[in-house]
Amino acid sequence: MSNSFYISHYFNFAHAGEYLLVVLLALAVVMTIIILAARKQKKTLEKELEEEQDERRYRKKEKKAQAHPYVMIESFYEMVFSSTSVLLFLSFYYLLDAYYVAKVTEFWQQYQDVFLLVFICLSVFVTSWADTIFVRLRHLESEQKAAVRLCSSLYIVLILLYIRFIYQDTNYNSLILYFVTLAIGRFVFFDFTVEEFRRMLMSVARNLPLLLLMCAFSGFICWYGFRVDFLLTSNGVIISILIAHLFMDIALFVLSKTGILHIIVKKAV
């Protein structure tokens, strides 16, 4: 199929609008789950607060309890943004490999790993742009961002495994190995300590429910898109999954700019 067909297909505003509406409804369900979980966890933090005798620690825990719902919500935002940015550059890599490599075969075979590394590094800058300019995340500390981005790497591995085994596409074997190595490298590096390894493992465990929620959310969005033929396999499954994530980003942007979520959190939590 020609490029003009794909452009007219994905920029059909009636179909795109319907798909965005479904994404917004699914996102509303996700946010409801996160808010309910945050309310429960906040009550636990408040109970701990009542038992605290030290005034300095009391103020610190009080601030943490008040910010906790926003930290949970923004962690989900961060995971979506981080995953989208990686998928964006993986899609560029896929397009180069699938459609343009024939023209520069020798050059590509020699430097394709370098291109992949550069793309992954660029994705970090795109994620930073997304969580500071596109939608400003004010409550996430750098340590929590790092933990969420690590979970995002595991999420990307799951996506690549899905494409590899469901669609029997062996072109993703090297990418799977690359991201598995990248994830392991976050745990075990040349001067790591047992304490650092334990802390990193605990951070992943704390964000595991978020990862599962992300898998359920994106899984439904992709399933629905393929089911109604809005997302196509003919342009490459990874391209369609990227498009689904771009719609998730738009939905998060809409939700953030309307301010509805902030009002709900203040009243419900």
> Quick one: pLDDT at residue 61?
58
pLDDT in tens, 86-128: 888 888 877 777 666 555 566 656 666 677 677 777 777 777 7
Give mean pLDDT in consecutive 10-residue pieces for the chain, a chain of 269 residues. Answer: 82 92 95 87 67 61 69 90 88 74 60 70 76 81 84 87 78 71 62 69 85 94 94 89 94 87 73
Which residues, 6+ apart, have CB-to-CB distance to 94 below 8 Å? 171, 236, 238, 239
**Are 127 and 149 spatial neighbours (Cβ–Cβ below 8 Å)?**
yes
> Quick one: pLDDT at residue 41?
76
pLDDT in tens, 190-205: 556 667 767 777 877 8
Instruction: Record the pTM.
Output: 0.84
> Quick one: pLDDT at residue 70?
85
> Quick one: pLDDT at residue 20?
95
184-223 b/e (C-beta count within 10 Å ≥ 16 → b):
eebeeeeeeeeeeeeebeebbeebeebbebbeebbebbbe
